[in-house]
Amino acid sequence: MATGKVRYWAAAKEAAGVAEEVFEADTLDQLMMKITGNREELARVVRRSSFLVNGDPVGKREHSSVILPEGAVVEILPPFAGG
């Protein structure tokens, strides 16, 4: 299982209660399940967020197909300015 760091921005940071945390997950889908597991507000924010993995946009790819390499940095970007 890959380890890395997830960074939260704006509303995601507020909902998570931290700016970043370490994770263990093989795919973006696994990571999303782990970080939202008892955090309802974070789950709500994540559903409408976009994601970067090592600076590259995930776009509309299925999260289960996004493989997280060892040492990955995943950034969660909620819509800004009502977008």
- Per-residue pLDDT of 37-71, as tens digits, reads 999 999 999 999 999 999 999 999 999 999 999 99
Contact 63, 29 (CB under 8 A): yes
Q: Where are the domains of the chain?
A: 3-77
Inform me whether the pLDDT recorded for 83 exceeds 50: no
What pTM was estimated for this model as a whole? Answer: 0.93
Task: Please name every residue paired with 53 in a beta bridge, in sequence order, or none if there are none.
Answer: 56, 74
Instruction: For domain 3-77, say whether CATH 3.10.20.30 is its number.
Output: yes
**In what helix (H) or strand (E) does residue 65 lie, and over which residues does it extend?**
none
Alpha-helical regions (H) of 9-49: 11-16, 28-36, 40-47
Q: How far is CA 38 from the centre of its chain?
A: 15
Cα–Cα nearest to 74, from 48, 56, 59: 56
